[in-house]
Amino acid sequence: MAATFRLHRVLVALAALTAASTALVACGSGGGSAGGGGQSTIVIGNEADLTGNATVGVPGNYGVKFAVQQINAHGGIDGHQLDLKTEDSAGSAAGGAAAVRRLVEADGAQAIVATASSDAMVPAVPAAQSRSVPFVVSAGSDPVLVAPANTFVFMSPAVPVNIDVQEYLKFLAAHHFTNVALVATTAAFASAAVQDFKSGAPAAGVRLATVQTFGATDTDFSAQVKAVQDSHADAMFVIGDFTGNVMKAALNAGVKLPTLYDASATDPLLIKSIGAGSEGLISFQTQAKQLLDANTGAMATWKADFTKAFPNPPAGVPSQFSLQGYQTTFILAEAIKKALAKGGDVTGSSIRDAMQTISGFELGVTDFPYAAPIGYPVTFSARDHAGNATVTPVQVKNGVFVPIPESAGGQ
Amino acid sequence: MGTVIASGIASGCLIGLVAMGIVMIFRTSGIVNFAQGELMTLAAYLYLPLSNHHINSALEIVLVIVLGAVAGLVLFLITEFLLPRADTLIQIMATFALSLLIVSVLAKTEGSQTEPVANWFQGGTRFTVWGVHLTGAQVTQVIVMLVLLGAVSFVLNRTELGHAVEAVTEDRRAASLCGISPRATVAASWVIGAGLTALAGLLYAPLSGVTPSMGANVLFPAFVGATIGGFVSLTGAALGGVAVGVVGGLANYFLGGGSVSTVAIFVVLILVLLFKPSGFGGRVLLSRV
Amino acid sequence: MNIATRLGAPAWRWLAVIVIAVAVGQFTQRGLSSYGNFVAGTIAVAAIAAVGLNLLVGNAGLVSLATPAFMAIGAYGAGIVLQHSPLGITGAVLIPIAIATVVGGVVGLLALRLRGFYLGLATLGLLEATQYVLQQGGSLVGSGYGFPMPAVGSITAAQWSGIAASVLVVVVAIAASIRRSAVGRGLALLRQHETVAGCAGMNVVRLKVGVFAVSAGLGALAGVLYGFVQGAVSPDQFNLTLAVSQLAYIVFGGLGTVAGAVIGSIVLLVLPEVFHGLGQNEGILNAAVLLGVLILAPQGMFPLVDKYARRLFGRFRRREPTRAVAVTAPVGAPTTPSTGTPIRFNDVTVRYGGVVAVNAFSATVRRGTVHGLIGPNGAGKSSAVGALFGLVRLAGGEIEVDGRTVQTSGRRNPPWTVAAAGIGRTFQTPHAGEGLTALEAVQNGVFRGVPHGLVRAGLRTSAVLAGEVEARDRALTALDLVRFPVSAATPVTELTLGELRRVELARVLAGDPDVIVLDEPTSGMELADADALFELLNGLAHDGGRSVLVVEHNVKLIFGYSDDVTVMNLGEVIASGTPADIRADELVRGAYLGAR
C-alpha cells in the first residue's frame, strides 16, 4: 500500500502545523504587546454578546462604551485614560470562554465588565479567575458566578437570582398571591430560580400550583398556558421570557390571571412585544432607581447625554442592560480609583482588594460627579461579592413601567 | 386539550410550509438545503420595516414573497453553476456555509438583537370555537398552509411545469431528452420553495421576533416533518410538519415543556424511520446522504 | 543485538509516534503565547473529535450529528467522576470513554437501517436527548449550569493544551493505522456498496457498530480534554452548531483523509483568529472561506495540497508494489479443499411482494466444474444468486453450500456467513471501494483471512503487519492471475470497466474460495478478454478443483466453456444438462435461443 509515498504527506501535515502555530504565536503575541499598557492607560475588557442571542450584549456594550467615554472625557481616573477592549462572546458558552481568554491573554485587559448572558459567562469565568483578573458581572444573575471560590468575580447591579427569588416570594405573599403558577425557560438561571422558588415557597406561605418550562426558541405556549389554567392558580409568574410570548399565549387563551415577570425581562421591549395586553403586568427591577421609561430627573439627563454620544444606536438601544453596563463600569472605575490611591501598580489583585472595600458607593453622588445618579448604593465585602440587593416591584401603567407604591396592592 | 392540539396544528402548519419548501427544492435539485431557514429569516427582515410602519397591505406582503423567491433564485444560481454535482454531503455543507454567510451578514448589517414584529391582518384577534381558543395568527397559519398546499399541488398535478418537475424528479437526463429544460425546472422549484418559505417567515416573525439566527429554530423541525412525510410528497411534508407541531405541543403538555418536546419529536422520527423507512409520503428518493 | 529487531517494527513505530507527540505537546505548552496555547488546545480537541468523526463519515460513509453528545459524555463524565468518586484521573478518562463507546455502538445499530441524511437526522435525536439531560439532569450536571472542571493535581490549563496536542498526534497515528489496515480498506468498500462488502466476507453489522463505537470513544476522549482545556463545562457548548462545525472541518479538509480532518480543524479554527486580529468580521469571512473551498476544491483542502505536493516532489511518485516473498505459483487449488456438494438449490422460491421471481428452482453445481446459468432478462438468475447470499429471503426451499444448508425459508443468513462457507462472488456492476488503489481493492478479498479488528488495526500490531504482507502477496498473485494490465497502485477511479471487472474477480480469487459465483462477468469486456476470462475459469475448475457458477448472457461462451448448463425463464428451470443437451432442446430454442 501507500507506505512508500507517505513521506510527503507527513511533510504537508508538518508544513500546515508550522503555518498554523506561527499564526497562533503571531495572533497571541500581537495582542499581548498592545495590551502591555502604558503608564497612563488602563485596559478594561468588555465581554459582550454582540452576535447570537444579543439581547443583553449589544445594549450592555453601549452602556459600557458610554461610561468609558464619560470617564475619559473628564480626564480619566486620576489621569489614567481607560482603553476599552470589547470581545464578542456570541451568546454562547464556547464564545464566552474564547472571548474572556482573548481579553485576558491577548488584549491585556486588567479587569473585565461582562454584559453577556449567564450561559456565556459561567464557562468564561475560570479564565479570568485563574489569571487573577477581576470580572464584574453586569447583567447575568447566576449565583454560581459569585460562588465563594470565584474570588475575582463580582456582581452589580445585577442581583443573584436566589436573592431575587426571596424578594419575589415576599412580594407574592404580601399581595396575597398564595397559589402561583410558575412558567420558566430552560436556561440555567431560570432553572436555578425555579429551584429557589420550590425551596423558598413554603416558608413564604406561597404554594406553587404548577411549574411549567419552555424552550428558548419555542413559539407554541398553549400547553403551558393550558396547564396553568388547569392549576387554578391565582397568579402566573414567568421567568426568562424576554419577548412576552407566555403572556401573549395566556391572553390568547383567555386566561386572565395577574401576571408577574422576573427582573430579567423588565424592559420596554417586553411591553412593545406584548402590546396593549401588557397593561397591569407586574415585574421587578434592579438596575436603577428610575426606570428607563422615565423622562424626568437623572434618567432624562442620562438618556439625553446617551443620545448625544450615540445619535444612531441600533434598535433596542439603550435598554435596561445599557443602564447596567454603564453602572458596572463606574463601579469598576471606583475600585481602580481606590487601587490607584493606595499607590503602587494597578494589578488584578489590587483592583480586587479595592473592590472589596467599596461601601455605599452611589453613582454620581460619590467620586464621579459627572455620572448620572441612576444607581442604587453598592457595597461589597470580602465575603459578599454581590453588590446590590435592591429589588423594586413595578407595574405596567399606560404602556410604561411605574413603581408600585409600598402600600398599594398588586391588582 | 383541544386548544393544545389546535395550537400544535397551527404551529405545525408553519413547519409544514417550510418542509414543503425543502421538499420542493430537494425533488428536482437533489439538494437538502440547510439555508432554508435563512430564506425565512431574509423574508422576515424584509418585512420588518413594513411592520414598523404599520404597512399591511397585501401588495407589500406579495412584494416580500417575491423578494424571498428572488433570494431562492440566487441560491439556485450558486448551487447550480458554482457547485459541482458531486457528493451530496459536500452540497449540504455548501448550503450550510451559505446559511452561515447569510446569518453573519445579517448580524453585521442589522445587529443581533431580537426585534419584535407586529401581527399582520387580524393576528391579535381571538376566537373561541367549541371551547378551543385560537388567535387570528393561528387561523391565518392554517389557512395559508392549506391554500398554498392546494395551489402548489394544482401546479404540480395540472400544469406543464408540474409535469416538468415530475420528469426531472425521475431522471434529469431523460427529461432533457423529452424537450424539458431541467435547469429551468430546477430554478422554478427553487423559486416556489423559497416563496413558500418566505411566507412562512412572515407568519413566524410576529411569533418569535426577528433575529439573524431565527432560521435555525425552524430548520430541523421542518427536516423532521419532511422526513416523516417521505421527503418527496408536498402533502406528506405538510402533514409531517403538522405532526411535528402536534407531537411537540402534546409533549409540552404531558411531559413538561422545554427540550423534552424536541426529544419527543426525534423519538417519533426515529420510530418512523425504523418501522416505515420511506415515511408516509411515497417513494424513497433519498437513499444516500 | 539490533534494537530494532528486538522491539519489532510496531514498537519502533510507536516509539516514533510518542517522541513526536511529546515534542508537539511541549511546543504547544511552552512555545506559544498563552492565548495561542489556548487556541491550540481548542484546535487539538476539535481535531481529535474530527478524526473520529471522519472515520465514521469519511471512511464508512455513515453521517452523524451526534459528536457533541459523545464529547459531552466525555467532558461531563470526567468532571462527575472526579467530583463524586475516588477513582481519580484514570477513572475520569476511562469511564466516560467506555460509556460513550457503548452508547456509540447502540447508536450504530441505527445505521443498520438508516443511511445518509436520514441517519444524520436520527443521530441528532441523541444530541437532543443529551441536551435535555444536561439541562434537566439536576445537581449531578450542575443543575443546568454545568460546572468548573475539578483540578487534577497541579496540571495547568497550558499543560492541558499540551496534553491535548500530544493526544492528537497519537490519535492521528491510530486513525492512519486504521485507514491503512484491512478494516480501513473494508470500510471504503462498505461506504461504496454494503452488499458487495458483505459478500466479500465482511461482517457489516460488526463493522458499522464497531466504527460507530470507536468514533464515539474518540469523541468522548476529545470531550474529556475539552473540559480541562476550557476549564469549565456547560450544556450549550455541546450543541448542534458544534455538530455541524465538526462536519465542516472534515469536508473542508478532505473527507476520508486523516490529514484532512486535522487540516480542516486547524484552518477553520485559526482563520477566525487571524481575521479577528486583522479587525475583520470573522463570521462573514469564515463562512466565505468555507463556501469558497467547497466551490473551488469540493474534494477538500488536503487532496488538493496532496496533488500539488506530489507534483512538486516528483520523487515521491507511486512505486510499483512488489511481493515480499516471491510467489510464482498461481492461486491454483484451494488451500483447504472440501468434499461436499459445492452449491445445491433445492426448490427455491423467491417473491417480491406478489411477484414470483424464482419458482421452485433446483440446480446443483458439481465440484471442479463450470456451471452456466442462462436465461433472458428477468428470468430470475440474479434473484437466485441473491437468495444464495441471503440478499432476499426465500419464500420456499433451501440452499446448500459445501453440503451445509446456508439459506432456508425460515432463516435468512447474512452474506458474510455465507462467504465464510468458502464462497465468493462478483456483481453485474463492479464496485472496488471508494478511494482505494487496485491493489487495496483486491486485498479486501483477504479481509477474513487477516486480523481485521478495529483496535488491533489502530495499534498496528505485528500480527496486523504480518497480515498486511500476506494480503498484499495474495492480492498481487490474484492480479497476475486475472492478467491485470496496469499498475496495481492505480487508483480504482482511473480504471476502465474491464479493468474493474478484473479487480473484482481478483478480489474473489484472493479470498481463496472453494466456490466462485460470477454475475455477468463479461459485459463491457472485449471478446478476446472474455475468452481469456473463461479460459481462466476453466483452469480454476478443472485444474484447481474449484467450482464455478456463472450467470452469463453470452450463450456462445457458456456453451463453449461450461460443463453443465441450467436455463431459466420466468423464474423456472426450463432445461438443464450438458451444453450439447441444451443446444438440442426444443423448448430452449423456442423460448430463448430462438428469440435471440
Q: How far is C98 from chain A (nearest CA, A)?
A: 26
Q: Which three cell numbers stand for residue A239?
A: 421567568
pLDDT in tens, A175-229: 999 999 999 988 878 888 998 999 999 999 999 999 998 887 788 888 888 889 8
CB distance from A63 to chain B under 8 Å?
A: no
Task: Output the pLDDT for position C523.
Answer: 81
What is the distance between the alpha carbons of residues A310 and C567, in angstroms, rounded to a whole number?
89
CA A376 to chain centre: 16
Output the nine-digit C-alpha cell for C24. Answer: 508537539
Q: How far apart are CA A226 and CA A246, in angstroms?
A: 11
Residue contact B126–A52, C-beta within 8 A: no
Q: Which three cell numbers stand for residue A158?
A: 445585577
Q: Which residues of A touch B252 (CB under 8 A)?
A: 214, 218, 220, 223-224
Task: Enumerate residues 278 to 297 of chain C having a beta carbon within 8 A of any beta carbon in chain A.
Answer: 283
Contact C317 A195 (CB under 8 A): no
CA dist list (Å): C236 to A97, A123, C65, C231, C242: 12, 10, 15, 15, 9
Say yes or no: C590 contacts chain A, CB-CB below 8 A.
no
Residue A47 φ/ψ, nearest 5 degrees: -85, 115
* Chain A residues within an 8 Å CB radius of C321: 1
| C527 shares contact with chain B (CB less than 8 Å) | no
Rounded-to-integer distance, Cα B226 and Cα B236, Å: 7
Taking CA atoms, what residue in C is nearest to A118?
C145
The answer, for C109 touching chain B at a CB cutoff of 8 Å, is no
Searching chain B, which residue's CA lies closest to the CA of residue A186? B258
Q: Is B116 on the interface with C (CB under 8 A)?
A: no
Residue count of chain B: 289
pLDDT in tens, A74-100: 989 988 999 999 999 888 888 888 899
* Contact yes or no for A245 and B207 at CB 8 A: yes
pTM of the model: 0.88
The reply to whether residue A253 touches residue B133, judged by beta carbons under 8 angstroms, is yes
Tell me which chain C residues have a C-beta less than 8 angstroms from the C-beta of B220: 121, 124, 240
For residue B133, give the C-alpha cell.
381558543
Longest distance between any two alpha carbons in chain C, whole Å: 91
Distance CA B70, CA B47 (A): 15
Confidence (pLDDT) at C324? 57
Residue C486: what pLDDT? 87
Which residues in chain B are closer than 8 Å to A245, comparing Cβ atoms? 207-208
Closest by Cβ to B224, choosing from C121, C248, C299: C121
Q: Is A252 on the interface with B (CB under 8 A)?
A: yes
A152/chain C closest Cα distance in angstroms: 15
Give the pLDDT score at B56: 60
Q: Which three cell numbers, joined as nine digits, stand for B58?
A: 397585501
pLDDT at B102: 92
How close is the nearest chain C Cα to the Cα of B175, in Å?
A: 25
Q: Residue B81: is it exposed, middle or buried by C-beta count within 10 angstroms (0-12/13-18/19+)?
A: exposed
Looking at residue C75, what is its pLDDT? 96
Distance from C72 to chain A by nearest Cα, in Å? 13
3-state per-residue secondary structure call for C116-168: HHHHHHHHHHHHHHHHHHHHHCHHHHHHHCCEECCCCCCCCHHHHHHHHHHHH
CA-derived radius of gyration, chain A: 23
Side-chain-side CA neighbours of A278 within 13 Å: the count stands at 27
- Look at residue C315 in the predicted model and tell me its pLDDT: 52
Residue of A nearest to C306 (CA): A9
Minimum distance, in Å, between the CA of residue C283 and any CA atom of chain B: 5
* Measured distance CA(A359)–CA(C81) in Å, rounded: 41
Nearest by CB to residue B108, choosing from C255, C281, C299, is C281
CA angle A322, A325, A329 (to 5 degrees): 140
Nearest to B286 among C118, C135, C255 (CB): C118
Reported as a single tens digit per residue, the pLDDT across A38-70 is: 457 999 999 999 887 788 899 999 999 999 999
Using an 8 Å Cβ cutoff, are C172 and C162 in contact? no
Angstrom distance (rounded) from CA C284 to CA B113: 18
- Tell me whether B284 touches chain C (CB under 8 Å): no
The pLDDT score that the predictor gives to residue C322 is 67
Q: What is the mean pLDDT of each run of 10 residues along chain B (289 residues)?
A: 86 94 90 91 87 68 88 89 76 89 88 78 71 81 91 88 85 81 89 93 86 88 91 90 93 81 90 77 44
CB-based contact B277 C284, cutoff 8 Å: no
CB C357 within 8 A of CB C366: no
Written as one string, the DSSP assignment of C393-404 is --SEEEEEETTE
What distance in Å separates the CA atoms of residue C368 and residue C563, rounded to the nearest whole number?
9
Nearest-CA distance A114 → chain B (Å): 17
- Among C375, C367, C386, C400, CA closest to C576: C375
B170 shares contact with chain C (CB less than 8 Å): no
Across the 596 residues of chain C, what is the mean pLDDT of every consecutive 10-residue run? 52 87 92 88 96 93 93 96 92 96 93 84 90 85 83 89 96 91 91 91 92 96 94 86 90 90 93 80 84 85 82 63 54 65 91 87 91 87 91 90 88 91 90 88 87 84 84 88 86 87 91 90 82 87 89 88 90 89 78 55
Nearest-Cα residue of chain C relative to residue A92 = C236
Tell me if B258 and A185 make a contact (CB, 8 A cut-off).
Answer: yes
What is residue C307's three-state secondary structure?
helix
Nearest-CB residue to A58 (from B112, B209, B213): B112
The DSSP element (H or E) to which A88 belongs, if any, is strand A81-88
Q: Angle at which helices B160-170 and B2-29 pack, to 10 degrees?
A: 70
Residues 297-356 of C with CB under 8 A from A: 302, 305-306, 309-310, 313, 316-319, 321
**B211–A53 CB contact, under 8 Å:** yes
How confident is the model over A254-280, as a mean pLDDT? 86
pLDDT the model gives residue B73:
92
Q: Mean pLDDT of all residues in chain A?
A: 84
Q: Is C564 helix (H, G, I), strand (E, B) or coil?
A: strand
User: Looking at the complex, does the CB of residue C286 fall below 8 Å from at least one CB of chain B?
Assistant: yes
Out of C57, C115, C287, closest to residue B100 by CB: C287
B179's grid cell: 424537450
Q: Show the 3-state SS of chain B.
A: CHHHHHHHHHHHHHHHHHHHHHHHHHHHHCCCCCCHHHHHHHHHHHHHHHHHCCCCCHHHHHHHHHHHHHHHHHHHHHHHHHCCCCCHHHHHHHHHHHHHHHHHHHHHHHCCCCECCCCCCCCCCEEEECCEEEEHHHHHHHHHHHHHHHHHHHHHHHCHHHHHHHHHHHCHHHHHHCCCCHHHHHHHHHHHHHHHHHHHHHHHHHHHCECHHHHHHHHHHHHHHHHHCCCCCHHHHHHHHHHHHHHHHHHHHHHCCCHHHHHHHHHHHHHHHHHCCCCCCCCCCCCCC
CB A122 within 8 A of CB A155: no
Best mutation target among A5, A14, A27, A197 (most C Cβ atoms within 10 Å) is A27
Report the chain B residue with the minimal C-alpha distance to residue C127: B263
Q: Using CB atoms, pick whichever of B7, B113, B257 lies closest to residue A314.
A: B113
Q: What count of CB pairs under 8 Å joins A to B?
A: 117
Q: Which helix (H) or strand (E) holds C357?
A: strand C355-365
- Nearest residue, CB atoms, C180 vs list A1, A29, A130: A1
- Picking from A23, A51, A92, the nearest residue to C283 by CB comes out as A51
Chains that touch A (3 or more CB pairs under 8 A): B, C
Please judge whether C237 and A123 are an interchain contact, meaning their C-beta atoms are less than 8 angstroms apart. Answer: yes
Q: Are A64 and A111 in contact (CB under 8 A)?
A: no
pLDDT of residue C207: 92
Confidence of residue A4 (pLDDT cuts 50, 70, 90): very low
Inter-chain touch C294–B94, beta carbons under 8 Å: yes
Residue A411, pLDDT above cutoff 50: no
Cβ–Cβ < 8 Å for A1, C180: yes
Gap from C90 CA to chain A (nearest CA, Å) = 24
- All three cell numbers of C515, joined, read 466456490
CB contact under 8 A, A220 and B212: no
- Identify residues of B whose CB sits under 8 angstroms from chain A CBs: 1, 3-4, 6-8, 10-11, 14, 104, 107, 111-116, 118, 124, 126, 128, 133-135, 204, 207-209, 211-213, 217, 245, 248-250, 252-253, 256-259, 261-262
C63 contacts chain B (CB < 8 A)? yes
Within 10 A of A162 (CB to CB), how many other CB atoms are there? Answer: 17
Q: CA-CA distance, A251 to A258, in Å (whole number)? A: 11
